[in-house]
């Protein structure tokens, strides 16, 4: 009796765990997500600034939500994704997972910075101050420090694999801050307003406002995916520069092959 075999038309996603196979897939995805980011961004801004009505209490100052809310959401989502890939790389010792975590960190830091800055722009006309040590604002600021700490720690360790392990521990420890950010307005009496969109209740904002915010969020999602995939491709070329597939890729684009640094393992050496 023979063992059952997988259907021929099934997709083996595990084969893309190899950098050589993931690299071209990521390149194609960058193009599609970049186009979607531009189209959705233009549509979201049009709805947000030309279609959505003026808020009765906040006036036109509320329109900052079309950038503030998406970046705030993504700042938390990206950190969870970064911690996930860092944990996968730590447990299973997979190179691509650690590369993904490293590629996510700068974009997550950017989203967190934009969330804090746009929140300050919103807070001045709404609260009368640029900054307060509110629970959500403070925990979001801690999130920015975690991203910067991840990047600084990785850059301070010369050995890439040791840097991956050290930053993975930091990312996994810091993930506890994400639920604190999300539930801070429920756990403490904070100045920050509660969520306008919830899975358990109807939206508390007008339909055009909601549509503009969701479309803008989708645009920011696509932008982040495109940027992270483009960055991980560069990290692959840097860290796999001794591999034959990188040399072929560079020669195929007319670039000169990268020379391995003295600290780089020779071709065929275990990593």
Reduce the secondary structure of 53-65 to three states and give it as a string.
CCECCCEHHHHHH
The DSSP-derived string for the chain is -PPP---TT---GGGGGSHHHHHHHHHHHHHHHHHHHHHHHHHHHHIIIIISPPBTTTBGGGGGHHHHHHHHHHHHHHHHHHHHHHHHHHHH--HHHHHHHHHHHHHHHHHHHHHHHHHHHHHHHHHSSS----HHHHHHHHHHHHHHHHHHHHHH-SSHHHHHHHHHHHHHHHTTHHHHHHHHHHHS--SS---S--SSS--SS-HHHHHHHHHHHHHHHHHHHHHHHHHHHHHHHHHTTTSHHHHHHHHHTTPPPPPPPTTSPPTT---
Give me the pLDDT at residue 245, please: 76
Residue 229: exposure state from Cβ atoms within 10 A (0-12, 13-18, ≥19): buried
Is the model's pLDDT at 78 over the cut of 50? yes
Which of 257, 139, 116 minimizes the C-alpha distance to 188?
Answer: 139
Structure tokens at 36: 């979607």
Give me the pLDDT at residue 126, please: 74
Domain boundaries in the chain?
21-53+63-189+205-241
- Cα separation, 52 vs 60, in Å, equals 10
Which of 16, 35, 165, 36 minimizes the C-alpha distance to 90?
Answer: 165
pLDDT tens, residue by residue, 215-229: 999 999 999 999 999
Per-residue pLDDT band for 82 (boundaries 50, 70, 90) equals very high
The share of the chain scoring above pLDDT 70, in percent, equals: 79
Is the model's pLDDT at 206 over the cut of 50? yes
Question: What is Dmax (Cα atoms) for the chain?
Answer: 76
Per-residue pLDDT band for 196 (boundaries 50, 70, 90) equals low
How many Cα atoms occupy the beta-carbon half-sphere of 198 within 13 Å? 9
Give me the pLDDT at residue 240, please: 84
Give me the pLDDT at residue 13, please: 55
Could you tell me which residues are beta bridge partners of residue 59?
55
């Amino acid at each position: 009796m023979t063992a059952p075999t997988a259907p021929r038309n099934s997709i083996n996603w595990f084969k893309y765990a190899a950098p050589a196979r993931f690299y071209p897939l990521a390149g194609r995805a960058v193009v599609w997500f970049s186009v979607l980011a531009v189209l959705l961004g233009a549509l979201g801004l049009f709805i947000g600034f030309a279609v959505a009505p003026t808020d009765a209490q906040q006036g036109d100052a509320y329109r900052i939500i079309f950038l503030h809310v998406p970046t705030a959401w993504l700042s938390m989502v990206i950190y969870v994704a970064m911690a996930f890939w860092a944990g996968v790389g730590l447990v299973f010792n997979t190179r691509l997972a650690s590369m993904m975590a490293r590629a996510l960190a700068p974009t997550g830091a950017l989203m967190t910075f934009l969330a804090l800055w746009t929140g300050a722009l919103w807070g001045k006309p709404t609260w009368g101050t640029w900054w307060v040590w509110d629970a959500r604002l403070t925990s979001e600021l801690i999130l920015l420090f975690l991203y910067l700490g991840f990047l600084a720690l990785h850059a301070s360790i010369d050995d890439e694999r040791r840097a991956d392990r050290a930053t993975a521990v930091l990312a996994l420890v810091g993930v506890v801050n994400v639920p604190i950010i999300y539930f801070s307005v429920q756990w403490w009496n904070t100045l920050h307003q509660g969520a306008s969109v919830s899975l358990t209740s109807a939206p508390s904002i007008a339909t055009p406002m909601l549509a503009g915010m969701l479309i803008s969020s989708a645009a920011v999602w696509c932008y982040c995916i495109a940027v992270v995939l483009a960055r991980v491709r560069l990290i692959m070329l840097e860290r796999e520069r001794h591999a034959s597939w990188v040399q072929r890729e560079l020669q195929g684009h007319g670039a000169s092959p990268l020379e391995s640094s003295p600290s780089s393992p020779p071709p065929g050496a275990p990593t």
